[in-house]
Each structure stands twice: as structure tokens, then as C-alpha cells.
Amino acid sequence: MRRRDFVTGIAGSAAAWPLTARAQQGAKLPTIGFFSAGSAAALSNWVAALVRRLGELGWIEGRTVTIEYRWAEGHNARLAEIAAEFVQRKVDVIVTHSAEPVIAAKQATSVIPIVFGVAADPVGTGLVATLARPGGNVTGLSVQTTDLAAKRLELLRQLAPGLQRLAVIGHQGGPGVVLEIGELQTAARSLGIDVAIFEVRRAEDFARAFAALKGRVEAVYVVSDPLMTSNRIRISILSLIERLPTMNALREYVEVGGLMSYGPNFQDMWRRAGDYVDKILRGAKPGDLPVEQPTKFDLVINLITANALGLTVPDKLLALADELIE
């Protein structure tokens, strides 16, 4: 190649670069619509895990993908409104978690893919047809929390062997909450434990619920959902005031003063949710992606809280624990 032709070729290519860059900048980035019944503060670690995983897969927020966030802040009446907004904006994929937000998204669209980062029992709550073949436009990760209710009760009883009266606090009417409470009641009956159910609908209800259970129970089982997670500090404080040990689903409750938790690592699950989003943005159909389940469950015990409540954690339970907070 003659030098003149080489230089001319380079000059032509260089002239084209700004045009290519402008074309890429002008193109609409794929958009993820993320929404939750909870708050940004409560879910910050989980969302960060999702965003980090997306970045590792090439979906960098603000550069190769746009993420729009919406938070219902415990007001579930807003869920349908948020879902409808995402449909109107024609986002490429909706990401959410828990039964009620997923149901709101399903009612708003049968076309836009929906990924749930975590859901208590996606088959039992009607989110998907089966775990292996979800069908429709929905898929994600199941925590199968209803299957863990009996195990959590067993662990709680090891710490409080004389337990006879148990309070269950959960979000009123939540589909996953109803299923988990049902499983817990069955397990409690087999152990001769009386269960009193206290339902809440908003943050202001927690003080009333704990005042109502005062002197009536010996421990509290917290049924996790976005409302409960957003108020986990409030729950821990009220439990300590009433000197009641708590069993929780998530380590995040124990980190802020709850006594113990048994369940999957939600940060890991939200990271895995990024893989679903990646596959869908690259053309996969959500109905063809099997719903995954956790592979590991962690027992976390807060020894500071146990000491404050005057409880001695048995050696057997200490040996079983995956993490001790002290």
C-alpha cells in the first residue's frame, strides 16, 4: 500500500470515529425498571449486589444500561401505579421481589420480562407455573421460605427449650406471609406450642402489635417481607424492650439486634438475579429460564442480644452457627 493511500485511509477512519461515537450516544440504552415495596435504605446492599453483577457482565449503569428505581416505601397501593409507569415507559425488563410487587407487574404486562430477585414461594403464590418451566414472562429466584418455617422453629426452641407461647408478626394479607404462617402453625402444633398471630399493615402498627403481645408470649417469629425488612431496626428495638428473643429469616435483622436468623444469603441471590437480567437483555425468554433455589442456608446468632436477654446459647447451637455476632 502506498503511503498516500495509508494516510488517506487513516484520516477517513479518524473522521468517522466521532460520528460512530455520536451514533452510539444517541442510541437508546436498554432500560431496567427496578421497583420494591420497601425503601432504598433497606435494600441498598441487595441492589448494590445486583448492580455489581450487571457491571461484571458488561451492563454498566449509565453507560451501557439505564436503571430506573421506584420505591413504594411500604405503601403497597403504589405498586400497581409503579408497574403501570414502567409499562408506559416501555422498559426492557422489570426487576422486583416478593409476591405483591410481582403480581402487580404481571397484571400490568404480559409482554415485558419480569425478574424477581427473591420470592418466598413463587409456585404457591401463583407467580410461575413450575420452578422448572415458569412459562409466561416471569422468572427469578425462590427462597422457599415456607419450607424453612419448621426448621426455624426447631432452632428457636433449642435456644428457648421451654417455649410454649410464640408470637408471629407478619404483613397482613401478603401471599407469601400467609403460606409461611400456615406452615409454622402446623409445625408449632406438632411441638405443642401455642401461636398468636399479630398482623401489621404499616410502620405505625409495630408499637401497637408489641404492646398487644406483652406478657402473652415468650418469643417472636418474624415473617420477612419488604415492610418487615424496612422496619427491622424498629422490630429489634421493640423486641429488646419487651425482652423477647426473635427468629428471623435474614441476617440483616440480626445485624441490627435481632437474636437469630436462618435462611439464604440475599446478597448472593440478588447477584444471581443479575445473570437472569443479562440473559434476558441478550434475547432469552423468561419463561424458558428455570427458577433457581438457594444452595446454602446460614444460621446467624447475635451473642450480644442473647446476653442482653439473659440467654445462654447451647454449645450445640454455637457449633451449628455459620456466624456469631459478638
CATH classification of the domain holding 304 = 3.40.50.2300
Q: Is residue 89 part of a domain?
A: yes
Q: Is residue 313 part of a domain?
A: yes
258 pLDDT above the threshold of 50: yes
DSSP per-residue letters across 2-56: -HHHHHHHHHHHHHHHHHHHHHHHHSPPPEEEEEESS-HHHHHHHHHHHHHHHHH
Strands (E), the chain: 31-36, 66-71, 93-96, 114-119, 138-142, 165-171, 194-200, 219-222, 246-248, 260-263, 298-302, 323-325
pLDDT band at 26 (very low <50, low <70, confident <90, very high): low
299 forms bridges with which residues in the sheet?
262
Task: Of 225, 224, 223, 231, give the one whose Cα is nearest residue 257.
Answer: 231
Residue 295 vs residue 200, higher pLDDT: 200
Task: Tell me the per-residue pLDDT of 122-157, one tens digit each, with 9 for 90 and over.
Answer: 998 999 999 999 999 999 999 877 779 999 999 999
Task: Please indicate, yes or no, whether residues 228 and 270 belong to a single structural domain of this protein.
Answer: no
CB of 303 closer than 8 Å to CB of 325:
yes
Task: Please indicate, yes or no, whether residues 191 and 245 belong to a single structural domain of this protein.
Answer: yes
Number of domain units in the chain: 2
Task: Please indicate, yes or no, whether residues 249 and 124 belong to a single structural domain of this protein.
Answer: no
Q: Is residue 214 part of a domain?
A: yes
Helix (H, G, I), strand (E, B) or coil at 1: coil
Give mean pLDDT, residues 70-96: 96
Q: Is residue 154 part of a domain?
A: yes
Task: Please indicate, yes or no, whether residues 317 and 191 belong to a single structural domain of this protein.
Answer: yes
Residue 32: other Cβ atoms inside 10 A: 25
Round to whole Å and give the CA distance between 238 and 261. 17
DSSP per-residue letters across 69-91: EEE-TT-GGGHHHHHHHHHHHT-
Task: Please indicate, yes or no, whether residues 52 and 111 belong to a single structural domain of this protein.
Answer: yes
Q: Is residue 136 part of a domain?
A: yes
Task: Report residue 238 as a C-alpha cell.
Answer: 421493640
Helix (H, G, I), strand (E, B) or coil at 218: coil
Q: Let me know the angle formed at the C-alpha of 164 by 254 and 246, rounded to the nearest 5 degrees.
A: 10
Its domain, for residue 223, covers: 146-263+298-325
15 pLDDT above the threshold of 90: no
Task: Please indicate, yes or no, whether residues 95 and 175 belong to a single structural domain of this protein.
Answer: no
Task: Please indicate, yes or no, whether residues 102 and 197 belong to a single structural domain of this protein.
Answer: no
Task: Please indicate, yes or no, whether residues 38 and 112 belong to a single structural domain of this protein.
Answer: yes
Q: Let me know the angle formed at the C-alpha of 144 by 143 and 146, rounded to the nearest 5 degrees.
A: 130
Helix (H, G, I), strand (E, B) or coil at 310: coil
Q: Is residue 2 part of a domain?
A: no
Q: Is residue 17 part of a domain?
A: no
Task: Tell me the per-residue pLDDT of 178-198, one tens digit each, with 9 for 90 and over.
Answer: 889 999 999 999 999 999 999
Task: Please indicate, yes or no, whether residues 163 and 305 belong to a single structural domain of this protein.
Answer: yes
* pLDDT, position 176: 86
Q: Which residues contact 124 (CB under 8 A, 6 or more apart)?
A: 146, 175, 176, 179
2 pLDDT above the threshold of 60: no
57 pLDDT above the threshold of 90: yes
Task: Please indicate, yes or no, whether residues 255 and 186 belong to a single structural domain of this protein.
Answer: yes
pLDDT band at 52 (very low <50, low <70, confident <90, very high): very high
Judged by average pLDDT, the poorest of 13-17, 221-225, 285-289, 293-297 is 13-17
* pLDDT, position 239: 97
Task: Please indicate, yes or no, whether residues 106 and 170 belong to a single structural domain of this protein.
Answer: no
Q: Is residue 11 part of a domain?
A: no
CB of 37 closer than 8 Å to CB of 177:
no
Percent of the chain with pLDDT over 90: 83
Task: Please indicate, yes or no, whether residues 271 and 160 belong to a single structural domain of this protein.
Answer: no
pLDDT band at 224 (very low <50, low <70, confident <90, very high): very high
Round to whole Å and give the CA distance between 185 and 230. 25
Helices 149-159 and 175-191, interaxial angle, to 10°?
50
